[in-house]
Structure 1
Amino acid sequence: MQQDDVEIIERETCFSGFYQLDRLQLRHRQFAGGMGPQLSRELFVRHDAVCVLPYDPQHDVVVLIEQFRIGALEKSTNPWLLELVAGLIDKDEQPEEVARREAVEEANLTLSSLWPITQYYPSPGGSDERVHLFVGRCDSQGAGGVHGLAEEGEDIRVHVWPLEDALDAVKDGRIDNAASIIALQWLALNRAEVRGLWS
């Protein structure tokens, strides 16, 4: 991108709380050449996120968490979603630190290694959030129960599933959120290499 490919005419903050909503007036260069018309766009300003799929290579099982999600309330028959361990980078922390901290807080798990999968924008049409996605090596023996930080209202149930069962849940739609689908499919494609290095 060249410096003059995007012209920000005005930017205002419409709401600022845990998240922030900005409205931008802008123009950008078009593929045919020249600048396009002025556009008005709202931008959901979010902290970047970290998602990690805890994986026990010895037993070929994954650890998933289940919790209530407001975004699924009106578009799903069940707003308690099966997901990855996740958290926001809202302090001066590296993504790897967040992954390890959240694994303890949400699943009572210690991750002995982290394998970076990718970084991606989950919804770049209206949000600036970027997700750092990992697989984390864990020992699943004894994993389970309900965890989370009481002061944050977290109520998180931990599940230990054979990887094949988790992949079946992706196939039949029981697991229907992007980070979980991406991480599980990545692990399915790279399982032999991961187990070879981590077992």
Structure 2
Amino acid sequence: MSEFFKPDPDAVEILRRESCFSGFYRLERLHLRHRQFSGEMGPLLSRELFVRHDAVCVLPYDPQRDEVVLIEQFRVGSMGKCSNPWLLELVAGLIDKDEEPDQVARREAVEEAGLVLGELWPISRYFPSPGGSDELVHLYVGRCNSEGAGGIHGLAEEGEDIRVHVLPFEEALQAVKDGRINNAASIIALQWLALNRTEVCGLWL
């Protein structure tokens, strides 16, 4: 069995930290060295770090109807990289207040989709881009009643313009296969539900 690296307390040495930009997000430049697999300290490295609040993403799922609720909104980061920058996504938000991840999931479901969630099923916590960002994503499936879900939602003061879609689960999964759903949290959550739907429905029905 392979043995994975186990860092000691001195495995990373940060020599200097610069603030390059500070707004809603921050950009820092770190000058550091880290221990290499040989056991020796490596060379001095300079790395920019995008400092973000941690995020919460939740896939609302109605086990009675076998439907998921997804949201559609414009995403500036996808411009020029795909033909349509209006993406199908999960309900999501940043932990930028004194809140627990499950509280953020429930609040954002109301704000972005008009949904009151029941039980939350934690899927995973993961780093979407650890090579240059410190963001950690808390990912859930949330039980919901999808009957009547739809419409335009979002907070006007935040410039949000969000359209709600209710899809049969198999249709949403096909959208992953077709590439129509092309963002990490949605792909991970829908594939996880494909693998675990029997167990989820067994407890939620």
Structure 2: how far apart are the matches of 1:5 and 1:86?
Answer: 34
Give the partner amino acid of 2:44.
Answer: Q
**Where has structure 1 moved over 3 Å in runs of 4 or more?**
none
Amino acid at match of 1:52: V
Identity score, percent:
78
Q: Which residue in 2 is equivalent to 1:135? A: 141
Structure-2 separation of matches of 1:56 and 1:143: 11
Take 1:75 and 1:184, find their aligned partners in 2: how far apart are those partners? Answer: 22
Q: Give, in angstroms, the shift of residue 27 of structure 1.
A: 0.3
Unaligned runs of 5+ in 2: 1-6
The letter of the residue matching 1:46 is R
Distance 2:165 2:14 in 1: 46
Q: Distance in 1 between matches of 2:111 and 2:39?
A: 51
Report whether the alignment pairs 1:149 with 2:155. yes
Counterpart mapping for 1:18-37 below 5 A: 18-37=24-43
Unaligned 5+ segments in structure 1 are none
Tell me the equivalent position of 1:68: 74
Quick check: 1:86 aligned with 2:92?
Answer: yes
Write the mapping of 1:31-180 to structure 2, written as runs, cut at 5 A. 31-180=37-186
TM-score, structure 2 length as denominator? 0.96
Corresponding residue SS for 1:159: strand
Q: Deviation at 1:3?
A: 1.6
Structure 1 residue 120 displacement after superposition: 0.1
State the distance in 1 between where 2:12 and 2:112 align: 41
Asked whether 1:196 is paired with 2:202, we answer: yes
Whole-angstrom CA distance in 2 between matches of 1:60 and 1:196: 12
Amino acid at match of 2:94: L
- Indicate the SS of the match to 2:96: coil
User: What does residue 8 of structure 1 align with?
Assistant: 14
1:177 positional shift: 0.3
* TM-score, normalised relative to structure 1: 0.99
Q: Distance in 2 between matches of 1:11 and 1:3?
A: 19
- Quick one: distance in 1 between partners of 2:167 and 2:137? 24
After superposition, give the CA deviation of every residue in 1:59-99 in whole Å (9 maximum; x if it has no partner). 00000000000000111110000000000000000000000
Amino acid at match of 2:39: G
C-alpha deviation, 1:9, in angstroms: 0.6
Q: Distance in 2 between matches of 1:155 and 1:124?
A: 29
Cα shift at 1:22: 0.3
Q: CA deviation at 1:131?
A: 0.1
1:141-183 superposed Cα distances (whole Å, 9 cap, x missing partner): 0000000000000000000000000000000100000000000
Q: Distance in 1 between matches of 2:63 and 2:189?
A: 15
